[in-house]
Amino acid sequence: MGYHLSGRPYPGTFYRLYRVRDIFSRKIVGGEVYENEWAAHASVLIRKTCLAEGICEEGWVLHADNGGPMKGATMLATRQKLGVGPSFSRPSVSDDHPYSESLFRTLKYTPAYLNKPFASIAVARQWVHGFVQWDNYEHHHSAMRYVTPDQRHRAMDGERLKQREAVYEMARQRNPERGSGNTRN
């Protein structure tokens, strides 16, 4: 990785986004940006995520692509130590996990995405942190009946959906001629 004397990366420098997403809630529970692909980075992220989420029992499965960092000896040892089972994409299939792919699409097409390269890794990390906050706490996912990943992760989505149903019911009673009578989720 090369840098100018100004501290800015050379054109063509890429940063690597490592992230862990809970499939059920779609919440991003761990994420880091690094300058290179390395199994030790993935290993540290998995350990930090397990600690932060209170995951200490066997039965957790990590789905990953077939990249070197995810199949490296350091990552293998970390998974075994934490009791995390492996699940890998099929060879040569880059879009084997739709939830992961949809997150990358959301990330790239959000209005806040920069239309120019990040000035430094610090700027990239700051942007990713802001994106994670937005996606977890503000973005209402259509596939989850318009609740946030954090609401679903903390099992608050049921209450939120009941509140929404009550609001729709009041509106239907006030104006029975409007709408189809079905709650749109």
pLDDT band of residue 2 (cuts 50, 70, 90) is very low
The CATH number linked to 30 is 3.30.420.10
- Alpha carbon of 137 to those of 131, 148, 153: distances in Å? 10, 6, 11
pLDDT band of residue 151 (cuts 50, 70, 90) is very high
* Residue 115 or 101, more confident: 115
What is the number of structural domains in the chain?
A: 2
**pTM reported for the whole predicted model:** 0.75
Query: Helix axis angle, 73-82 relative to 39-53, nearest 10°?
Result: 20
Lowest mean pLDDT among 41-50, 99-108, 131-140, 156-165: 99-108
Domain of residue 166: give its range. Answer: 155-185
Residue 168 has pLDDT above 90, yes or no: no
> Residue 115: which of 103, 127, 126 has the closest Cα?
127
Tokens of 5: 């004397």
pLDDT band of residue 136 (cuts 50, 70, 90) is very high
Residue with tokens 């709408």: 179
CB 52 within 8 A of CB 30: yes
pLDDT-above-90 percentage for the chain: 24
Residue 87 has pLDDT above 80, yes or no: no
Q: Are residues 182 and 102 in the same domain?
A: no
Rounded to the nearest integer, the mean pLDDT of the chain is 81
Q: Are residues 41 and 106 in the same domain?
A: yes
> Is the residue at 8 inside a domain?
no
Amino acid, res. 147 = V
Residue 83 has pLDDT above 50, yes or no: yes
Residue 165 has pLDDT above 80, yes or no: yes
* Residue 176 or 29, more confident: 29
pLDDT-above-70 percentage for the chain: 81
> Is the residue at 182 inside a domain?
yes
C-alpha 70/C-alpha 78 separation (Å) is: 11
pLDDT band of residue 152 (cuts 50, 70, 90) is very high
How large is the average pLDDT for residues 154-177? 89
Tokens of 111: 């209005």
> Is the residue at 162 inside a domain?
yes
